[in-house]
Amino acid sequence: MKILLIQSDPKRNKFENYKQVEEIINSINVKLDFIALPELWTTGYKLKPYEEQSESENSQILKNLSKLAKEKSCYILAGSIFYKENDNYYNRSFLFDRNGNIVGYYSKMKLFKGLNEHLIFKAGDKLGIFDTEFGRIGVMICYDLRFPEIARKLTFDGVKIIFVPSQWPISRIEHFKVLLRARAIENQLFVIGINRYGLENENFFGGNSLVISPKGEIILDMGIGEKFSVIDIDINEVDEYRRSFPVLND
């Protein structure tokens, strides 16, 4: 499974942010299976005016992502997007398949009061579980990572890899790293944290996107900066490690 991770720094214009992501994807000269983006990559937390900044069912950015996934014949996990539905706003992640169809979506369940998310978003009430040709994958968004019961439920529902699109600040970046590894170790699966980079208001977001193996080993650390990286993983390692060290059976 060849995965492109994009550690971006969202600017004010959401269409410029999309264009930057599109240019990165078009610059990759290897066949990709999966593309993963950070939390709120179209807007950052610059959400006002809500009506203008949010996406909806037929928004141009979602149409563009669908077209891009089909052109590249590649899954795209659209990090998370500021999304409006039925007069409510959500911090919502979408997964597009190789044909550009939306496999499903996940709305962030645990809203971070430190950034007043609870005053803006409605919390999701369903787990982020998606069936793909690589097996079942899960999605948690940023603050969700601090709640191990979510990852454990995803694991017992058959997930082999958890993606964690994030906007995690540099001041707590060690928490991000430790928690990603802990979720991988506890559940013996791949965990991929895709964190944004850059300064917004008084918050500096720390990058350091990680790919963690089922053994809890860091197999990619993207460090500080606005950058992208391609990595190959073998999902079969999950079952192999669980057989050799069957913690979950207990």
Closest CA to 4 of 35, 27, 28: 35
Among this protein's residues, is 142 annotated catalytic? yes
Q: Is 108 annotated as catalytic?
A: yes
DSSP 76-91: EE---EEEEETTEEEE
Given 14, 39, 117, 177, the catalytic residue: 39
What the block records as the tokens of 126 is 């369903």
Cβ neighbours of residue 36 under 8 Å, at least 6 residues apart? 3, 4, 5, 6, 77, 79, 163, 165, 192, 194
The single residue of 108, 110, 160, 177 carrying the catalytic annotation is 108
Catalytic residue among 55, 72, 142, 177: 142
CA separation for the pair 226, 11 (Å, rounded): 12
Tokens 């539905």 correspond to what residue?
A: 85
Q: Are 210 and 177 in contact (CB under 8 A)?
A: yes
Query: Annotated catalytic sites, by residue?
Result: 39, 108, 142
